[in-house]
Chain A
Amino acid sequence: AQSVTQPDIHITVSEGASLELRCNYSYGATPYLFWYVQSPGQGLQLLLKYFSGDTLVQGIKGFEAEFKRSQSSFNLRKPSVHWSDAAEYFCAVGAYEKLTFGQGTILTVHP
């Protein structure tokens, strides 16, 4: 069965600092990997996705993620965080339609 682990429940960073959110997955084949962001009381917005090819993928809002097969990881990064990035971030793995989500990481940004 597929599963996703986001080890960090809550991360706090200062505005302008770099950010890395961790995601580890378990999947029997080559996974499709996603990062979504959710603001309070809102649905999910797709940040980026990996299907194949270049293991470093670029997304919206200056985010990027790197797929590392050997580590079963798909960590999300941003070089300089803005206050508007405060939200909850979900990593998801899926194939042929069914998505499995991690528990989410809440990001707090201090001015």
Chain B
Amino acid sequence: GAVVSQHPSRVICKSGTSVKIECRSLDFQATTMFWYRQFPKQSLMLMATSNEGSKATYEQGVEKDKFLINHASLTLSTLTVTSAHPEDSSFYICSVLPGQGKETQYFGPGTRLLVL
């Protein structure tokens, strides 16, 4: 399987600040990456699909101005939570899709965000 890293693994911030989370594909190039959100004791909910060199595609109900996604290279996608509030506290997980026609997503270890 593919190796995916996320940084930071855990972050605590004050309400109103912005937080950037990085997702890196370590052993292959990924034209497509995904960002999920997981609330405690709940399943993963897809937030957006990140495509290298183009704008991200957001799922219904996800504010694109609040959750900024940048996929500037084939190995790096970033999620920036802007003006974070306590309700944004969650576990954010990225995944990568290795190449065209491949259907298996490989997940990062996740980032725990706590907004005070």
List the interface of chain A (C-beta within 8 A of B).
32, 34, 36, 41-46, 49, 51, 90, 94-104
Contacts and interface: CB of A to CB of B under 8 A. Distances in A.
Chief secondary structure at chain B's binding surface: strand
Interface string B38-73: 000011101001000000000000000000000000
Contact of B97 (A43, A46, A97, A100): A97
Contacts of A44: 44, 93, 95, 107
Nearest to B1: A46
Chief secondary structure at chain A's binding surface: strand
Nearest to B49: A97
Nearest to A90: B43
Nearest to A104: B43
A45 B104 contact: no
Contacts of B108: 43
B103 interface: yes
B89 interface: no
Contacts of B95: 44
A106 to B, nearest CB: 8
B43 A36 contact: no
